[in-house]
Structures are given as structure tokens and as C-alpha cells.
């Protein structure tokens, strides 16, 4: 999978060393693919077969095997399962070397399964929308009532699949319990959370083994890099609404603080002892227990942001004046102590990242190490972030197989959910908290809410453009999921605000969409996340495949597994079963 067959034919009278480098590898050393001996005689070249990657374009460099002098370079994007020949010969019997690639067998189109899957799910969505519309017609309702003569038809027609407007309790995250007093719940928040969670489950199951459904090796973004920050963002939004609702209901801040701490501890312990990825390496013990993780970072982000909001939150916002000139900034000015704390945390991140000395590495290094930066800093993966994790937690207690190994051939353990990056996850959750404050202050003023979401999205987008210089690798602070860099947070928060506008407008304002099917896993997010990790290896989430090198089979398996969790969450929703810790 993701490989092609390359035969190198050497007609030269000297041996040729073949090297390669991926276009996604920034300032990298070439890696040796193999050596082809000199041609046997004119017209009888020597040949060697190689397997080459097809995910990205690669550059082949051919050097003399005797003095390592460069003979030629050939950039080429190989197609999956294609057969190719690389001919190395002298041009017109001169000393000039010619290198050319010939396609012997055309590659297959590995993206057809994605197109088929998209058409199937799009067809199901269209059929569902048409069915819902037909069931909503008065004529159809009257006919069904006559046929059934019972209230069961009414229940069916007004079920959650077809009626997005039924009022339920105020939005509360899966971490805080629902408020005691009923009020309108924003389905868009659960839908947003569900979108993040469904994509997260899909990419964790393998994403059909497509490279863009895997985490980027170092700088840059793929689909897999979007969803976790969005989940953190919407958690912050729900925290704002939950705490406000509970304060309005009469809960004391001390009681809420105890619940916040206890739920953070539960999340952390579940992440460490139940879904620890080091179980894949054999029996777990304290010597190889990974301490950081996804739920651990969620626990820390929730604890920090919920405590900050508990410090400044106001239960009754309807008594605030809106006549002063500064009233349009109430959603920020009222909470300035929390903003000050977050800014101080960000200053700490900047100082540690760019000023902390790292032995044998440049100060402020943000690179992947390995063969990156021409191999000069092979042991410097992650710079200060990697150093802090190894110092505080120890090499055996952090992630052993970082995504940087794929392209940059790093050999140092590095944890993408490490200590230093957790500071920026707090910033991400706090930006989500700001979205919640906007909803609270402007309530049913949909235009004001959406305009402020777009303003925040634009502001964060501008900050990202400045930090990255609109490039992948050459900015001041590149977008990097492994580091959870500042530009990564501002970029993903920008996307989150824009996506939230779209979901809020279509689900809660216009009610064009009920939020299904994403709404259901969004209501049971902790259960779905923990469940998909614990039962990943069991049927029907995984089965023995006939061809493990087929994207189609992997994609089918991963889509079926993800769909199963959506269906499970729907059934749990119908049974009013929600797991809240």
C-alpha cells in the first residue's frame, strides 16, 4: 500500500547509488535507496528493483558509487501499485548522463473508494432529507394518522431524525451535568462536537490508510490534525454555558470547583489506565506507562479553563447595562482577570519555547530533528518541548512512535500531548470559552452572535498569517500539531469559529438541518471516545481483511466502525442514556 515498483537500469560503466527525498521533508538529507552496479556491456544494463513511496512526490538523486559525485536528479510522483523503469545512460556516447523514467504499468486510482463512499453517504443524506420533508407534509401526516389511528405515528414523525426544533435542556458539556432548570439547548454545539468526534474516531481507526487522514509528519495540516483542537474548542464553549446555567440555578462556586476537580481527575485516570496506547506494546507497567494523552490533555484544559471561568463568571447577565460606549466589549471586559491569566500562560510558553537552552541544540529550535535541517540536529526533536517532557516525565513515559518518524526518520521519543503544548491547549479551550460568552451575552440576537464569531475568525486568521508568513515551514512559528504551536491554535480556532457559524446558522437559526447524525455522538462524546478506543480490535469495528493492501477494504472497515458508533450513540439517545463523568 502506498508503494510503487521501480526498476533502475544502469547502462553506465560505473556503479550508481540511488538516493531519495520526499517533497514534504523540509531541508532534509537524502536517504539511500540502494546501489546499482555498472552495466555488463553496451546494450546490457544491470538492473535492480526497488519499492518507492507514492504518498508524495519524491526526488531521486543518482550519484557515482565510487566518488559520490552527483550524476542527475529526477523529481517524480509515483502512482500506487504502478510499475516504472528508471534508465540511466550516457547521452549520445558523451560524458553527460541522462536519467529518464518510463511507466511500464499504469497505477491504479486509489481515490475511487473515497468517491464511492462520498456518493453513498451523500445519497443517504439526500434520501433522509426527502423522506423527512415528505413525512412533514400535512397530507401525508393525515394519511398516516388514518392508517395507524394511534399516537405512535405522531411520535415517529416528531422524532429527532425529523424535528430539529424540539426544546431540551441548556447546553452542557459531557463533563458538567445538565442544569436543574429546563431551557433551550443549542443543538449546534452538540452537532459541532459530534462532527469533531466522528472525524476523530474515523482517523483513529485508520482513515482508510490515506495519508491525508493521518497526522502530518511535522509542520502543516491534514484532516487528522483538525479535530482534536475543535473538540477542545467546543468543550470551552460548553463550559461557559454550563457554569452560567449552574450559577443561575443556585449552585455555589465551591461545590462547582469540587465537581470540576473530580471530573478532571476522572478524565486523567481514564486516559492513563484504560486507553493508554502503550498497551499495544505488551503488558503495561509503570516503567513504560505513557503519562500524557488525549484525555489527559482534555482533563488539564478543562480544569484550567473551568477554574478560570468559575473565578469570573456571572450568573445573571440580564442586569448588565448596555448603554455605555464600552458595552459592545462586555463579553471580554467583564472577564479581564481570566484573559490576563491566559496571556501570562502564553508568555510562559513563548519564553520556554524560544529562550530555554536545550543541550546540543539551537535555542528556540522548532524542528523535527532526524534528517531534517540537513541532519545537523538529529537528537533535537521538538526542541524545548521535547526536553521538558524527557526531563519531567522520562523517555519511557512519553509517546515512542511520533509521526515525525514517517518522513524525518527521527529516533527520539516525542509526545504530541506533552507538557509544554498543554499551555496552548488551554488557550484553545479559552477561545472556545469566548464563543460561549458571546452566546450568553447576545442570547437570541443571532446576527450579533454570528458577526462576532466571524470577527474572531478573521482576527485569528490574520494572526496566523503573520506568524506563519503564509507558508508551511518558513514562518516565525509554523503550524505544527506535534508542538501545538501558537499558530496551530490560532489557525484551528479560526476554522472553528467559521465552522461554528455555519452549523449555528443552519441548525439553530434557520433550522434547515437537525444536526443528525452528528448530534447523537455529540451528546455522548466521552462514551463514544472511550468506547472506540477500548473496543477497537473487536468485531464489528475490525475484522480480518482479504487484502490488507487495499485502500477500499480499509476504508470500508473504518467507515463501518465509525458508523457503528454513530448508530450506538443514536440508540443511547433514544433510550435517554448518557455517560457523564
Residues 282 and 538: beta-carbon distance below 8 Å: no
State how far the Cα of 260 lies from the Cα of 306, in Å rounded to an integer.
Answer: 7
Asked if 5 and 49 count as a contact pair (C-beta separation under 8 A), the reply is: yes
Grid cell 394518522 — which residue? 145
Closest CA to 174 of 184, 161, 160, 189: 189
Whole-angstrom distance, CA of residue 300 vs CA of residue 303: 5
Phi, psi of 417 (to 5 degrees): -110, 35
Question: In 492-511, which positions are buried (b, 16+ CB within 10 angstroms) versus exposed (e)?
Answer: bbbbbbbbbbebbbbbbeee
Report the topology of domain 3-105. Answer: Immunoglobulin-like (2.60.40)
Tell me if 200 sits within 8 A of 227, measured CB to CB: yes
Under 8 Å between Cβ of 448 and 251: no
What is the rounded distance in angstroms from the CA atom of residue 38 to the CA atom of residue 171?
71
Residues in the chain: 581
Please give the torsion angle defined by the CA atoms of residues 367, 217, 75 and 206, in that order, rounded to the nearest 10 degrees. Answer: 180
Chain mean pLDDT for the chain: 88
Q: Environment class of residue 332 by beta-carbon count within 10 Å: exposed (0-12), middle (13-18) or buried (19+)?
A: middle
Among 16-20, 185-189, 235-239, 293-297, which stretch is predicted with the lowest mean pLDDT? 185-189
The arithmetic mean of pLDDT across residues 318-327, rounded, is: 60
- The DSSP call for residue 349 is H
pLDDT of 278 reads 56
Burial of 282 (0-12, 13-18, 19+ CB in 10 A): exposed
Tell me, what's the pLDDT at 218?
94
Q: Are 42 and 7 in contact (CB under 8 A)?
A: no
pLDDT (mean) for 236-244? 94
Q: Catalogue the E-assigned strands of 23-82.
A: 31-36, 46-53, 58-64, 70-76
Instruction: Give Cβ neighbours of residue 407 (< 8 Å, ≥ 6 apart).
Output: 22, 24, 25, 28, 217, 218
DSSP-assigned states of every residue in 282-348:
SS--GGG-----HHHHHHHHHHHHHHHHHHH--S--TTS---STTGGGHHHHTTHHHHHHHHHHHHH
Domain boundaries, the chain: 3-105, 112-157, 187-574
| Secondary structure (3-state) at 381 | coil
> Locate cell 450559577: which residue?
247
pLDDT at 208 exceeding the cut of 50: yes
- Give the span between the Cα atoms of 116 and 262, in whole angstroms: 46
pLDDT digits 0-9 by tens, 253-281: 999 999 999 999 999 999 888 877 655 55
Is the pLDDT confidence value at 170 over 80? Answer: no
List Cβ neighbours of 125 (8 Å cut-off, separation of 6 or more).
none
pLDDT digits (tens, 9 = 90+) for 354-413: 999 999 999 999 999 999 999 999 999 999 999 999 999 999 899 988 999 989 999 999
441 noted as active-site residue: no
Instruction: Look at residues 460, 529, 536 and name the one whose alpha carbon lies nearest to residue 495.
Output: 460
Q: One of 56, 77, 81, 215 is an active-site residue; which one?
A: 215
* Residue bearing cell 515498483: 5
How high is the pLDDT of residue 94? Answer: 65
**At 322, is the pLDDT very low, low, confident or very high (cuts 50, 70, 90)?**
low
Answer yes or no: are the C-beta atoms of 450 and 505 closer than 8 Å.
yes
**Cα-based angle 437, 440, 443 (whole degrees, multiple of 5):** 135
Q: What is the pLDDT of residue 284?
A: 62
Provide the pLDDT confidence category of residue 68 given band limits of 50, 70 and 90.
confident
pLDDT at residue number 168: 38
Please, which pLDDT band fits residue 581 given cuts at 50, 70 and 90? confident
Query: Taking residues 62-69, what's their average pLDDT?
Result: 89
The pLDDT value recorded for residue 282 is: 56
Determine contact, residues 291/388, Cβ cutoff 8 Å: no
Amino acid at each position: 500500500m502506498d508503494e510503487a515498483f521501480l526498476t533502475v537500469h544502469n547502462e553506465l560503466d560505473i556503479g550508481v547509488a540511488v538516493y531519495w527525498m520526499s517533497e514534504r521533508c523540509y531541508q532534509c538529507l537524502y536517504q539511500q535507496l540502494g546501489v546499482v552496479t555498472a552495466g555488463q556491456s553496451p546494450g546490457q544494463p544491470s538492473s535492480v528493483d526497488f519499492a518507492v513511496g507514492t504518498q508524495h512526490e519524491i526526488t531521486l538523486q543518482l550519484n557515482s558509487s565510487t566518488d559520490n559525485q552527483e550524476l542527475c536528479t529526477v523529481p517524480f510522483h509515483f502512482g500506487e501499485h504502478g510499475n516504472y523503469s528508471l534508465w540511466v545512460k550516457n547521452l549520445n556516447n558523451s560524458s553527460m548522463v541522462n536519467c529518464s523514467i518510463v511507466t511500464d504499468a499504469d497505477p491504479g486510482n486509489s481515490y475511487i473508494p473515497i468517491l464511492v463512499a462520498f456518493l453513498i453517504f451523500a445519497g443517504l443524506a439526500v434520501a433522509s432529507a426527502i423522506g423527512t420533508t415528505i413525512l412533514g407534509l400535512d397530507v401525508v401526516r393525515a394519511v398516516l394518522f388514518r392508517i395507524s389511528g394511534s399516537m405512535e405515528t405522531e411520535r415517529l414523525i416528531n422524532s429527532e431524525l425529523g424535528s430539529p426544533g424540539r426544546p431540551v435542556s441548556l447546553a452542557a458539556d459531557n463533563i458538567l451535568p445538565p442544569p436543574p432548570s429546563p431551557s433551550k439547548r443549542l443543538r449546534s454545539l452538540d452537532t459541532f462536537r459530534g462532527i469533531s468526534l466522528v472525524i476523530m474516531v474515523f482517523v483513529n481507526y485508520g482513515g482508510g490508510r490515506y495519508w491525508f487522514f493521518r497526522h502530518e509528519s511535522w509542520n502543516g495540516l491534514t484532516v487528522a490534525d483538525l479535530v482534536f483542537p475543535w473538540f477542545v474548542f467546543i468543550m470551552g464553549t460548553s463550559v461557559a454555558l454550563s457554569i452560567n446555567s449552574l450559577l443561575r440555578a443556585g449552585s455555589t462556586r465551591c461545590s462547582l470547583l469540587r465537581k470540576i476537580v473530580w471530573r478532571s481527575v476522572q478524565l486523567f485516570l481514564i486516559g492513563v489506565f484504560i486507553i493508554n496506547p502503550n498497551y499495544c506494546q505488551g503488558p503495561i507497567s509503570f516503567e513504560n506507562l505513557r503519562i500524557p494523552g488525549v484525555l489527559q490533555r482534555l482533563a488539564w484544559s478543562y480544569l484550567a479553563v473551568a477554574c478560570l471561568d468559575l473565578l469570573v463568571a456571572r450568573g445573571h447577565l440580564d442586569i448588565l447595562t448596555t448603554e455605555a460606549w464600552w458595552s459592545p466589549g462586555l463579553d471580554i471586559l467583564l472577564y479581564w482577570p481570566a484573559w490576563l491569566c491566559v496571556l501570562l500562560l502564553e508568555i510562559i510558553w513563548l519564553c520556554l519555547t524560544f529562550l530555554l537552552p536545550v543541550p546540543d541544540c539551537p535555542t528556540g529550535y522548532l524542528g523535527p530533528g532526524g534528517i531534517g535541517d540537513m541532519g545537523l540536529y538529529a537528537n533535537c526533536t521538538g526542541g524545548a518541548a521535547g526536553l521538558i517532557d524527557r526531563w519531567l516525565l522520562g523517555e519511557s513515559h512519553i509517546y515512542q512512535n511520533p509521526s515525525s518518524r514517517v518522513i524525518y526518520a527521527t529516533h527520539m521519543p516525542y509526545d504530541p500531548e506533552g507538557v509544554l503544548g498543554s499551555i496552548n491547549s488551554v488557550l484553545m479551550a479559552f477561545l472556545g470559552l469566548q464563543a460561549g460568552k458571546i452566546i450568553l451575552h447576545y442570547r437570541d440576537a443571532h446576527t450579533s452572535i454570528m458577526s462576532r464569531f466571524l470577527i474572531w475568525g478573521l482576527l485569528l486568521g490574520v494572526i496566523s498569517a503573520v506568524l506563519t508568513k503564509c507558508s508551511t515551514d518558513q514562518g516565525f512559528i509554523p503550524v505544527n500539531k506535534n508542538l501545538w504551536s501558537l499558530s496551530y491554535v490560532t489557525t484551528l480556532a479560526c476554522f472553528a469559529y467559521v465552522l461554528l457559524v455555519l452549523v449555528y446558522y443552519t441548525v439553530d437559526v434557520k433550522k434547515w438541518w437537525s444536526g443528525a447524525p452528528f448530534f447523537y455522538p455529540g451528546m455522548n462524546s466521552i462514551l463514544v471516545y472511550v468506547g472506540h478506543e477500548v473496543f477497537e480490535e473487536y468485531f464489528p469495528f475490525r475484522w480480518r481483511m482479504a487484502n490488507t493492501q487495499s485502500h477500499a477494504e480499509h476504508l470500508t472497515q473504518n467507515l463501518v466502525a465509525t458508523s457503528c458508533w454513530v448508530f450506538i450513540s443514536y440508540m443511547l439517545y433514544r433510550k435517554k442514556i448518557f455517560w457523564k463523568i
